Structure formats: C-alpha cells, structure tokens
Amino acid sequence: MLRRVLFAQDTYIVPKSDGRIIVGATVEPNTFDSDITPAGLTHIIENACELLPSIARGKIGEVWCGLRPTTPDKAPILGTTKHEQLFVAGGYWRNGVLLAPKTAQLMCDLVTNSKSLSKSDESLLEAFNWDRFYNKEKSRQLEADIRYKSQMHTIQYRGKGSATAGIELGFYEGKYL
C-alpha cells in the first residue's frame, strides 16, 4: 500500500518492513497525561484517512501514547556535562526516532573517547550542548530566538490535503533542527 513515509500537518504514516503501518500523532503541550483519548484517536484516524484514503480499510492492531520531552528551543541536548562520566542525549520532542542513528554514532564516539569525531560532529555537539542554556552570550541569542519563534507556528504547517513523501529520514546538520 505504501513505500514511503507520508507527512502532513501533525500527521505521519510510516510503512514498516513487516507490512505494518504506523500512524501518528497528536501533540498536547504542557501535559504529562499518557491516556489515549477518543478525541486524539479520532484526530489521528481522520487525518490519516484524508492523507491515504485506502488506510480506512485497514485494521487497528495497537494504540499507544508516549511523552515527548523537549527543550525551550526544541533542539536536543547532546554531549558532555559538568559531571565527569555523565553524558546527555535527550529532549528530542517529536524527532527522537528520526535522529537516533546519528545520536548513537555521536554519543558512542564521545563516550568511548573516539578520535574519529569529525569537525562537523564536533560542531553538532557544541551546538546542542546543555550549556547553551547557561552561557550568557548563547542564552541571550537563544532567548531572542525563542521570543521570535513563539510568534510562529511551533509545528511546521502544511495545509489540509497537502502532503510530502519522505524519501529519506535522517539528520540534518546545522545549529538548529
């Protein structure tokens, strides 16, 4: 039925190699409630059926809910901390699964003191280090960025009925994801 990931406004449909299809998701900020609600499930099903009408004939095999920890700038925290032998990789919000392969490589190289960290990897670890929230110069810029972004949509918006096909899901290098 589907060979690529489909994205639309707050909806995604992901084909799995075993034939299952994963559909998601809802976002309810500032809550720690992991109960599945009829409203949330209806939202997901209606959007998925609009995006891929043939999915309406499928069977629901399982439903679940997870929490998505994030940071004020919606970017992950990666790298070392001020505590020896304590490393952090978290705060991915909706992108944890998508960024897991690159995160694993970065953290493995960091934890094992690998000399194979490229300049690009070093700059990623620097950009996403936890101290960006405590460094005065960085935090001023971060505060300005957050003020600006808070006036925009927090989720990339695609109008109803539009979708994009994902050829590859991966890590996009740069200061912010």
Reading the chain (177 residues) residue by residue, the pLDDT tens digits are: 688 888 887 788 988 889 899 998 887 777 788 888 898 899 999 999 999 999 999 999 999 888 888 887 788 999 998 888 899 999 888 777 778 889 999 999 999 987 778 899 999 998 898 888 877 776 677 677 666 655 554 433 334 444 433 333 333 333 333
Task: State how far the Cα of 37 lies from the Cα of 44, in Å rounded to an integer.
Answer: 11
Mention every residue, 6+ apart, whose C-beta is less than 8 A from residue 60.
none
**Residue in this structure with the two tokens 């957050």, named with its chain if needed:** 146
Instruction: Look at the pTM and tell me if it is higher than 0.85.
Output: no
**Residue in this structure with the two tokens 């505060």, named with its chain if needed:** 143
List domains and CATH numbers for the chain: 5-67 (3.30.9.10), 77-149 (no CATH)
Cα distances (Å, whole numbers) of residue 17 to 60, 124, 163 = 17, 31, 22
The H or E element that residue 48 is part of is helix 38-51
Pairing outcome for strands 11-15 and 21-24? antiparallel
